[in-house]
Amino acid sequence: MKKYIKKKSILIVLIGIVFVSFSFQSKFFEVAKQIEIYTTLFKELNMYYVNEINPAELTNNALKNTLKNLDPYTNYFNEQDVEAAKIRREGEYGGIGASISYSNKSPLIISVYKGYAADKAGLKPGDLIIKIDNQELIALEREQISGLLLGVPGSPVSIEISRQGKTLQIDLNREKIEVNPVPFFGKVDAETGYIVLTRFNAKASSEVKKAFENLKEQGITNLILDLRSNPGGLLGEAVNISNFFLPKGKVITTTKAKVKKWSNTYLSRNEPLDLEIPIVVLINGRSASASEIVTGALQDYDRAVIMGKRSFGKGLVQRYRTLSYGTQLKVTISKYYTPSGRCIQELDYANRDLKTGKIPKFSDGGINEFTTQNGRKVFDGGGVIPDIITENETLNEETKALLSSRALFNFGVAYKNKNKSLKSAAEFRFSDADFKKFQVFLKTDTTFKTTQEKSFQKAYDLVNQSQNKKISKDYYKILNTLKAEKITALASNKEFIKDEIKKIILDHYYYQEGVYQNKLTSDKTILEAMRLLKNKKKYSQILSTIK
């Protein structure tokens, strides 16, 4: 009987092995089959299609199209993309030191970095780059233009720009540009330090550490860590920064992947910098990924009060995989969980409606309750919910259209051209009178168009072929009415728009440093955080109360 049972067990195991082997071979065959189909199609197209085909462009588009119905973080990188991604991760590159917009294939300088080549050569926001080393740019793609600007530090580059109708030739030398993820830190008052972290590149933890130690030497006893609009970056840097304020040996985050070796628990491995200082972490709807790892860990251990708006809710981890000929695949390999066990992913990409493109939210199916170290209730299913939610201004459609245009930037350039000097960065305010001037400016701006205006213009373009003068007259009458109405509608978001314009103007005069100096005296959320940190009783109650 025992021999029979033993033989039966061996048979079951063998059947299992055969089944797994067959399943694996079947899946491998299907992959190989699809690759061969694409290869043969690609060859036939290149040989017989009536027009010339760019093989690299065709493959690039095919691969990106293949991935578009997955999550937006799984991407194919060609050789140029790989270099750009490396710059973002490492935080340094050889260039001129300017932020450039490439819309309409016309490189426009949006911002210059203080002390770098572009700044020293006198380049300004609003300068339109026409030529680079005598190369016309109109027919070039963004990657090609960027490639002309980037280069070995110390190498010369000649740029022809258009500024207020004048053409200027600017000669400069490329420099090693270091992207500091902590563009500003300082004291809000005698007791409260402020650190802004804009990205989690390879320099993030070292720069945060330097900033914190500097502020400690200045005698701070409270800290505000600003992660608003920080899209994330390197997971390891998030673990390191969390470790600054949490004891050694604590779970910072856990990842769960299909591949077992990529399912990990990340612990704080070093001695902390400070376990006592009261902290407020600021987040908003554009705080994502590594920002949420730090926020989630500090919240779950009741180490900081989280203030602001619900975070983005990314909850996914990516890894770079090397492909042929210097290309790469950035692929989502796992989900991450906070120390309490929360997965804060908001969008369920696996169940996207392929017909409409709509992506369901995990929170639509209900949320789950978890508890912090002190027993406070926290929840999953869509970002980190702050302990204190600041007032969230609802933006109307007109304001959203304004933000997607260049109108704010264009006004900032016009403001700088008319006003050669500005009072100190900390004291500058954009007044109601200034807002009225901005509304007048919009009457002549051509970049700010609502959906209504765009649809109306399309309809007019279709009927205008008849050259009907009455239609044209009525069209411009209605168009002017639409323009007046949209400008009036902006008044309901006046304070928000004023703040956005103020940031642009300050950057034009005082760089990003000036923007943050002003925030310390006028940002409502920063000032609210400072008041909370001064109220020790309320701060402690928030972190100890079981809700």
Q: CA triplet 291, 292, 298: central angle to 5 degrees?
A: 95
Cα 176 to Cα 155: distance, rounded to the nearest angstrom: 10
| Neighbour tally for 31: CB within 10 Å | 9
Residue ranges of alpha helices (H) inside 194-234 are 204-217
C-alpha separations of 162 from 108, 276, 446 in Å: 10, 54, 19
Pick the catalytic residue: 314, 486, 502, 503? 314
- State the distance between the two ends of the chain, measured CA to CA, in whole angstroms: 61
Could you say which DSSP state residue 361 is in?
B
Pick the catalytic residue: 300, 387, 445, 523? 300
Element (H, E) at 408: helix 407-418
Q: How does DSSP assign 444-465, residue by residue?
A: T-SS---HHHHHHHHHHHHHGG
C-alpha separations of 218 from 93, 189, 215, 291 in Å: 32, 11, 5, 26
Cα 429 to Cα 409: distance, rounded to the nearest angstrom: 17
Residue 412, token pair as written in the block: 């900032």
Pick the catalytic residue: 111, 268, 289, 311? 289
Cβ atoms 304, 245 nearer than 8 A: yes
What distance lies between CA 440 and its chain's CA centroid? Answer: 32
Cβ atoms 117, 227 nearer than 8 A: no
Cα 161 to Cα 169: distance, rounded to the nearest angstrom: 6
| Neighbour tally for 82: CB within 10 Å | 17
Nearest one of 119, 125, 88, 80 to 107, comparing CA atoms:
125
Whether 2 sits among the annotated catalytic residues: the reply is: no
β-pairing verdict for 265-267 and 98-101: unpaired
Instruction: Give the sign of the dihedral formed by CA 349, CA 355, CA 356, CA 362.
Output: negative
Whether 289 sits among the annotated catalytic residues: the reply is: yes
Cα 401 to Cα 489: distance, rounded to the nearest angstrom: 12
Residue 39, token pair as written in the block: 């290869």
Whether 314 sits among the annotated catalytic residues: the reply is: yes
| Neighbour tally for 541: CB within 10 Å | 10
The set of catalytic residues is: 289, 300, 314
